[in-house]
Amino acid sequence: MAKQSSQIMDIESIKALLPHRYPFLYIDRVTELIPAERIVAVKNVSADEPFFQGHFPGYAVMPGVLIVEAMAQAGAIMMLSAMEDPGSKIPFFAGMDRVRFRKQVVPGDRLILEVDVTRARRATCKLRGQAVVDGQIAAEAEIMAVLADRV
């Protein structure tokens, strides 16, 4: 059984691992991390998010694809944190399966992203993720990811 890391990551530690930047960085904090096994991360959904300008005016709802993107970014942090030289790799989506949206995510919500590895082989991995708001599942998905060499 793997030992759980006590590491908690703030935004600067996250930016040191992920290539994403505003307005496309959807992870604010990591509260639990077992490299290459499990991560729990947080996205604080602000009314100032740029996507709310068009999705939807007068009825702000976080787009489901961005919730899945947040899960994928959490998974990328988990996988990159297990590497000796994470700066040599860049994470890419390879696919999504069994995606379900169960609850709307709105400004003021705290999105808790729970992602576990279900299979890992060399540079590819399959992840199972859930996005939770106030104890209720807002979205869930199986995500395929690839860690490619940076050019």
- Alpha helices, H only, the chain: 11-17, 64-80
Rounded Cα–Cα distance for residues 131 and 2 (Å)? 24
% of residues, the chain, pLDDT over 90: 91
**pLDDT tens per residue, range 93-125:** 999 999 999 999 999 999 999 999 999 988 899
pLDDT of residue 4: 52
pLDDT of residue 123: 85
Q: Note if the bond before 56 is cis, omega within 30 degrees.
A: yes
pLDDT of residue 1: 44
What is the CB-side half-sphere exposure of residue 100 using CA atoms within 13 A? Answer: 8
pLDDT of residue 105: 98
Q: Which residues are catalytic?
A: 55
Closest CA to 26 of 10, 7, 42: 42
